[in-house]
Amino acid sequence: MQTTVDHATIQLDAATLGYGTTEPVLRDVSLTVPPGRLLAVTGPSGAGKTTLLSAMAGVLRPVSGTVMLGGEPLRDRDHAVTRKVVLVPQDNGLAAVLTAGENLQVTLIASGLSPVEARRSGAAALERLGLAGQTDQLVEELSGGQQQRTALARALALGGDVLLADEVTSELDAANRQLVLELLRAEADRGATVVFATHDPEAAAACDAELHLLDGRAELTRRWSEPAQENNAL
């Protein structure tokens, strides 16, 4: 009997990931991440967390094996964007010469919102992250933690089916880290597939499962709870 795969399910099948002629960063990764779940990706610096998220976002094509979304091979970043895959990169990806509000508005207008809708949605997203007072402040004037929250606010405003977040709590204090984790959980609760790369064991513990990367291999060191197993998560 054929199994139906939800449109936002991420699947890696024996995926080997790397860059050009260098040694692969990760080898033979097989994994299924279902919607409504929050996966932590952990491991030391250089283990391949950013590489894995880049492949899930369509930025990096696998050397071998496949990366699929909803049962369909992910071709490239443009394809991923049309499938509503939102990526918060480790470097935040913000335009330093624009304000926090303008960074959100430009992205939201590009996604199809009118300027009025973009301003409204952007302001609401910044407020959720405690950044209402920074809306008109240049990104280059924000602290590292404020920039991280601005990048996450932009991602949340897009309302993607898949949210990939790379180290979005690394520069946050305890209160803001908890806020970000609650917002990531809320994204999963509304049905998004959420993958969160982190060095923080407490943040990882708040997720539904943990994928640990080490020496080019990926291992689920903490597996999905029963509801995810019923969705055939591996």
Give the whole-angstrom CA distance, residue 41 versus residue 48. 9
One digit per residue, pLDDT tens: the chain, 234 residues? Answer: 344 468 899 999 999 999 977 789 999 999 999 999 999 999 999 999 999 999 999 999 999 999 999 999 999 999 999 999 999 999 999 999 999 999 999 999 999 999 999 999 999 999 999 999 999 999 999 999 999 999 999 999 999 999 999 999 988 999 999 999 999 999 999 999 999 999 999 999 999 999 999 999 999 987 776 544 444 444
Residue 49: name the closest of 212, 168, 202, 187 by CA.
Answer: 212
185: tokens are 């959980």
The pTM of this model reads: 0.91
- State the burial class of residue 158 (Cβ atoms within 10 Å of its Cβ: 0-12, 13-18, 19+): buried
CA atoms within 13 A on the CB side of 82: 6
What domains can be seen in the chain, in order of their start residue? 1-84+161-234 (3.40.50.300), 94-159 (no CATH)
Strands, E assignment, 178-216:
193-197, 209-214
